């Protein structure tokens, strides 16, 4: 998102991490936060939302006119209520994975999930995660690699760990 002005009512450019921006089309408010895992504050949308780089189904970003109660530092995050989206396998939502530790089936800790985004190629949609490794390196891997049943058990036990196959086999592809 590109910053607030002094009056906090200027349109802002928002990058989309979801392949279909139409979920924002009829929203009357969004939630904003300084960090992805921070406290989100509800913020009204003052004017119709416009798309950037395509139609509603293929936009790369949006222009939102927001009424914020406080000024935010850049970058900040824009979110919608979980009920706006259908859950993933095992009842997960994308936000469940943010900042989760990624461990492979060999027990190696790879790092934390930093972001999620949906990729669209023709009629095929895939959810991908951006993994930030302990050495500062990062790479992407698909949600399809997550062992949903074990990850769900970990989450239910209060352990925010995502189980994936041995990533060293895939990291350089």
Q: What CATH number does residue 121 fall under?
A: 2.30.30.240
Q: Provide the residue range defining the domain that includes 114.
A: 89-169
pLDDT tens-digit series, residues 123-167: 777 888 999 998 888 888 988 899 988 888 888 888 899 999 988
Based on the domain organization, do 159 and 110 belong to the same domain?
A: yes
Based on the domain organization, do 28 and 44 belong to the same domain?
A: yes
Based on the domain organization, do 93 and 160 belong to the same domain?
A: yes
* pTM exceeds 0.75 for this model: no
Looking at the 3D structure of the chain, how many domains does it have?
A: 2
- Give the pLDDT confidence score for residue 37 in this predicted structure: 63
**Residue 138 and residue 39 in contact, taking contact as beta carbons nearer than 8 Å:** no
3 state SS of 141: strand
In DSSP notation, 4-16 reads --TTS-SEEEEE-
Based on the domain organization, do 35 and 79 belong to the same domain?
A: yes
- CA distance linking residue 118 with residue 157, whole number of Å: 28
Q: Which residues pair with 127 in a beta bridge?
A: 118
Q: Give the pLDDT band of residue 2 (cuts 50, 70, 90).
A: very low
Based on the domain organization, do 144 and 158 belong to the same domain?
A: yes
pLDDT tens-digit series, residues 70-82: 565 666 777 777 7
pLDDT tens-digit series, residues 60-107: 778 877 776 556 566 677 777 777 777 887 788 887 888 899 999 999
Based on the domain organization, do 70 and 24 belong to the same domain?
A: yes
Residue 89 dihedral angles phi and psi, to the nearest 5°:
-50, 145
């Amino acid at each position: 998102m590109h910053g607030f002005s002094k009056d906090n009512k200027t349109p802002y450019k928002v990058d989309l991490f979801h392949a279909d921006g139409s979920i924002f089309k009829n929203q009357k408010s969004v939630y904003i936060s300084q960090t992805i895992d921070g406290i989100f504050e509800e913020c009204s949308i003052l004017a119709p939302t416009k798309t950037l780089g395509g139609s509603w189904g293929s936009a790369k970003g949006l222009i939102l006119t927001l009424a914020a109660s406080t000024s935010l530092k850049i970058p900040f995050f824009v979110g919608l209520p979980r009920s706006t989206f259908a859950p993933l396998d095992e009842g997960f939502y994308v936000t469940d994975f943010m900042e989760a530790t990624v461990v492979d089936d060999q027990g190696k800790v790879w790092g934390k999930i930093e972001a999620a985004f949906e990729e669209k190629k023709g009629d095929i949609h895939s959810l991908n995660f951006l993994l930030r490794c302990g050495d500062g390196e990062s790479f992407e891997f698909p949600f399809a690699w997550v062992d949903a049943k074990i990850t769900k058990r970990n989450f239910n036990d209060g352990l925010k760990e995502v189980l994936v196959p041995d990533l060293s086999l895939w990291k350089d592809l």
